[in-house]
Each structure stands twice: as C-alpha cells, then as structure tokens.
Structure 1
Amino acid sequence: MSDAKGIEPEVIGPRSGAAFLLGAGEILTVTDPQGCQVADLLAFAAHDVREVISNGRTFDYEETIRLTTGNRLWSNRSRVLLEIVEDTVGRHDFLLTPCSEATFRHFYPDKPVHRGCFGNLAAALSPYGIEEDAIPTAFNLFMNVPVEQDTGRISVIPPTSVAGDLIRLRAAEDCVIGLTACSAYASNGGSFKPIHYAIQPAPAPV
C-alpha cells in the first residue's frame, strides 16, 4: 500500500510512536490504513525546538476549531509550521492533550495503565532534545471530539475515518515531527490499529 505517490509508508505500530525530521517544502502524508484510528501529531521548529505548534494561536489566526484543507498550524511564536494541503476526513481535534498514564487512571480505572501518546511522544522526541514538559496539546488527526452548541460540553466518539483515509501537510520550514498511533480506548472505537506515514520530497526549484 503506497500512501504518497508510490512512496512506501513507514508503519507506526498500535499504541506506539515515532519522531523524524520533515524538511521545508516536504509533504507528510499520514494515513489511517484500517480506519477508526487516531494519530497524535506534534511539530517543532528544527532550528529551535522551543518553538512548537500551538492550538491557541492556530484557532486565533485560522478563526476556526474545525481545521482541514487550506488551514495552517501556527506556532507559539505566531509563525506557520505546517499547512494542510489535502484532507479526506475533515474531522480532527486540537483541543485535547495527548493521553498519558494519568489519563488511563482517570478514565479507564479498570483497564491496564498505559503510557499513552504522551509517553510515546516523550520517548520518541527525547533524542531531539525535547523534554516531557515541552510537549503541548497535539493536533489529533482523525479524532472525533464534538462540542455541544448550548453547553460547550465535549465528548470523544469513534473517528469517522475509514480504511485509506489520509491527511497531507506541507512543512513551511524544517520541523521535528512527533507522531503516534493513539493508545486510548474511546479515541479509537475500542481497538488499536497502526498508522502509516510517508514523506514526499519538496518540488525542485523551477
């Protein structure tokens, strides 16, 4: 299965994570190969990892919490790090923090504790000098978090993504990316599946 113009994808196994560099102009394709699986995404500026995607800045500048094709992900320094160039799902979450051991103790007291996306991101990003306290709210790809109009109450229900759905993001500058196959029960309809990603090179200068 090729996720980006014949490029064989990298596979993030269920309930695990990865980190990698994404160069300016390159396009990251994240695919839900089986459907109904969330992927937490983080982006840090490679030249200074203290600069990171910000949900608050993004909501402010994009004037929406429903981010899809054409929207950009802004940093805590008010600069664009990523642009969504294709999105076959159109429903993602940028409100909720990565699941963690504390999440499992709070929401799933009868289930085994797992380090969750937070722990997976922390481990994957550590070689890039990114510590746990630097991990912000992730852009939760394919995650379905409706907000009630009258009360503002949120809920987490299964993603609408089906097998092969994807999102493509173009890097505005060199970035360090963290990416997971989410570990929380409610986020993924109660089962855990892989996530695929592939990187398409930046087009050659004309």
Structure 2
Amino acid sequence: MRDLHQTDSVTASRSDARAQAGSQSEYMPWLPASTSPFVPEGVDPADLVWAETVAPGGYTHRVLARGSRIRLDDPTGDACANLVVYNALEPWERLNVADTQKIPWQAYLGAGSPLLSGDGRALATIVEDTSGRHDAFCGTSTDAWNTAKYGDAAPEGPSPSGRSLLAKAAAKHGLTKRDLPPSISFFQGVRVDPEGALQPVGSAGPGHHVTLVAELPLLVLVANVAHPLDPRPDYVVGPLRVHAWRGAPTTAADARFTATPELTRAYLNSIDHAEARG
C-alpha cells in the first residue's frame, strides 16, 4: 500500500506519478512499437506500427493504413480475439459477417479468407493461420448473456461482455452501439454438427497466430473476452498479443486474387475504391 504522504499535496502527487514513469505492466501497448519483446519472427522491429498485449477481459483499437499486416497471437491457448473492422475513411462501410461467409462460400475462416463489407469489398484478408479454430457464427457475448452465465457483465468487472468492450472501443472513434455489426472471433472454434447445432471446439492450444492484411485503410476494434459458447463455468480468457507493420495489399500478382471469381471481384472492388481516393 502506498504511503499517503506521497500524495498528500499536488507536488507530492506529481513526484509520485513521475517516479512511476518507467513502470511496466504485463498488459500494455509498447511505445514505440519497436520495443515490443514479442516481435514476430521475420519482422523488422523498426517496421512495427502497433504492438500491444491485451489483457484478459480487455480491448484495443487502432487505425491502420492500407496494406498493413495485423498479427494476433494466442500465447496461452485461452485468448479469444473478437474483431470488427471498418473502412477507416468511411466507417459506415463495415464488416458484414453474413457476406463474409456467404459470398466466398466459406463457413469456416482460415488462410485465404477475405473479410467482406456489405458493399462487396474486401476489407481485410487472412493470409496466415496456424490455429484453424475460429468462429463467424455466434458473434461476441452480450451483457444479458454474461449476466445470466457469470452474474456480471460490467466493462470494469470480472466478466465483461465483448459487446460492451467493443462499444467502448467504437466510442473512441465517434461511433455508437448502433454502428457495431456482429463480430468474428479468432482462437476459439465453433462447428456446425449434422443436426445444425453450433458446437464449440475450443482452441488449438498455445502458441498459435493469425495474420491479416488490410485491403483498405482500416479501423480495427478488438475485444479479448471469453467465447459465449465456452462450456467452462468460469470466465476463462488469456492474454492476446497484437502486432502490426507496414506492407502491401493484395494485388493481381497474389495467387489469392484469382483463387475464385468471388475473390477476384471483391479485390477489384477494393482496388477501384482505394485508387479513386488516391
């Protein structure tokens, strides 16, 4: 417990605050990003524009340039990264989970899967995936769900809902709950059984990652919360590591560009939209 005399005046409070300037937390953004102790293999630390460890039950957000690589790491096997992305220049264009599954004929996300907007454009593409355990069916948890399951859903409480944390992240960019579409989640899988019921399949274990490329300038919102179908009675979620660095968007030279007619059209739509805006 801190000595009260350390904060019993304005000058003492200032001195106390400054004395903690070099303190570090297990969960924090690394500033500058190049100082991250968890730089992905093969990435030059000088190229990093975002490096952060998101706490269990925490959230984060960032605006990233077109072509940026975004890597999500699950070091313990218990992270659950609930993701929403927007066109950063026109945030009314946002992730459309139904189109993301329907148009490319992909019920289950993995390497090569685009994340589509309702305007037929690829907002991002999954370019690496060592996990294979993801979910584009359920969306994230709500206050009502977590209150019923855990007895609490407050953002500052022991079992925050993903929806409430995404709303807080959205508010940092002038958006409201009405601007939040359903999210997708990484690292906690769900499959549809032969009877059509959704079955959780958990994680692939610790040490897996997913990398996406931003096909347009992106506003990225992430909530790291327990999956709503997690069968464990306790609120279980592990830390999530996030890194981003500069890169290039998908072009006609990439094999995924022509992998299917639907992908070609989505990438052409994104390129046309981006180039018209310089």
Q: TM-score, normalised by structure 1?
A: 0.88
More helix by share: 2
Alpha-carbon distance in 2 for matches of 1:188, 1:39? 17
Of the three residues 2, 10, 13, the one matched with 2:55 is 13
Alpha-carbon distance in 2 for matches of 1:199, 1:31? 11
Of the three residues 133, 149, 154, the one matched with 2:178 is 133
Alpha-carbon distance in 2 for matches of 1:36, 1:130? 29
Change (3 A) 1:93 1:185: closer
- Following superposition, the deviation at residue 6 of structure 1 comes to 4.8
Q: RMSD of the alignment, in Å?
A: 1.9
Correspondences of 1:1-206 after superposition (within 5 Å): 1-3=38-40, 5-7=43-45, 9-106=51-148, 108=149, 111-113=151-153, 114-149=159-194, 151-160=195-204, 162-184=205-227, 186-187=229-230, 190=234, 191-203=236-248
Alpha-carbon distance in 1 for matches of 2:213, 2:105? 20
Asked if the contact 1:38–1:188 (Cα under 8 Å) also holds between the matched residues in 2, the reply is no
Alpha-carbon distance in 2 for matches of 1:96, 1:184? 9
Change (3 A) 1:178 1:188: farther
What one-letter code is carried by the residue in structure 2 that aligns with 1:170? Answer: V
- Structure with bigger RCO (C-alpha 8 Å, 6+ apart): 1
Alpha-carbon distance in 2 for matches of 1:93, 1:186? 10
Asked if the contact 1:94–1:140 (Cα under 8 Å) also holds between the matched residues in 2, the reply is yes
What one-letter code is carried by the residue in structure 1 that aligns with 2:115? Answer: L
What one-letter code is carried by the residue in structure 1 that aligns with 2:212? Answer: L
What one-letter code is carried by the residue in structure 2 that aligns with 1:112? Answer: D
Q: TM-score, normalised by structure 2?
A: 0.67
- Following superposition, the deviation at residue 173 of structure 1 comes to 0.6
Unpaired runs of at least 5, structure 2: 1-37, 154-158, 249-278
SS in 1 for 2:242: strand
Asked if the contact 2:75–2:208 (Cα under 8 Å) also holds between the matched residues in 1, the reply is yes
Alpha-carbon distance in 1 for matches of 2:118, 2:59? 23
- Following superposition, the deviation at residue 185 of structure 1 comes to 6.9
Alpha-carbon distance in 2 for matches of 1:64, 1:145? 14
Alpha-carbon distance in 1 for matches of 2:67, 2:225? 27
